[in-house]
Amino acid sequence: MIASVDEDRWKEIQKELKEEYTRLLQTLDSTLPRDETYADEALGCLAHSAYRLGAIKQMIKYITA
C-alpha cells in the first residue's frame, strides 16, 4: 500500500492514469463492432472506469482534508 507520494510521483501517476484512459477509449473505438452485442461490455467498462476515478477523487479529498 502506498502511504504517501511526492509531487513528482503524483504527477507521474496522473499522467499514467490519463494514458490508460486514452488507451481504453482508443481500444473501444477501434476494436469493438458497432452493434448491440458489445455495447453492454463497452458501457460496463466505461462505467467501471468512472467508478474507479470517482473513488480516487474521494480518496484525494480525504487525504487533503
pLDDT of 49 higher than 70: yes
What is the maximal distance between C-alpha atoms in the chain? 45
**pLDDT of 19:** 92
Q: What per-residue confidence (pLDDT) applies to 15?
A: 93
More confident of the two residues 14 and 34: 14
49 vs 28: CA distance, rounded Å? 13
Residues whose CB is less than 8 angstroms from the CB of residue 53 and which lie 6 or more positions away in sequence, other chains included = 17, 21
Share of the chain above pLDDT 70, in %: 88
Q: What is the pLDDT of residues 19-45, one digit of tens each?
A: 988 988 888 777 767 767 677 777 888
At residue 8 the predicted structure's pLDDT band, cuts being 50, 70 and 90, is very high
